[in-house]
Amino acid sequence: MTASATPVDTGAFTKTWDVTSTADGDLTLAIPHGFIQPAYTPVAPKCVWLTPLQPNAYIKRWTLGVVDVTNININAISATGGGLAGTPQLRVIAMIPHSIIE
């Protein structure tokens, strides 16, 4: 099986995804974020949070990898009991600057 990310909120400046990892061996996931600046130029998010939703997220020890103008990459370790079928175990929250918060 593979890990998957389901969009939860798809705003212009903030986006969130719920990550489901059904197998213990799901180790990487690239989440295409689609952030663009007002000039329609792809941009990398400036802030990214990984928020555990289930204890399995702690077992897998999800960490943030490379964040670029295309993807948010996350990585995990292969650990017995880390997979959780059908239930999101991690929430990824990403933001780009806005004139109000920049």
Structural contact between residues 43 and 97, judged by C-beta atoms closer than 8 angstroms: no
Structural contact between residues 18 and 62, judged by C-beta atoms closer than 8 angstroms: no
Tens-digit pLDDT profile for residues 36-65:
987 788 999 999 999 999 999 999 999 999
pLDDT at site 79: 85
Contacts of 71 (CB under 8 A, 6+ apart): 30, 31, 32, 33
pLDDT at site 1: 61
Domain ranges of the chain: 4-92
Largest CA distance in the chain: 46
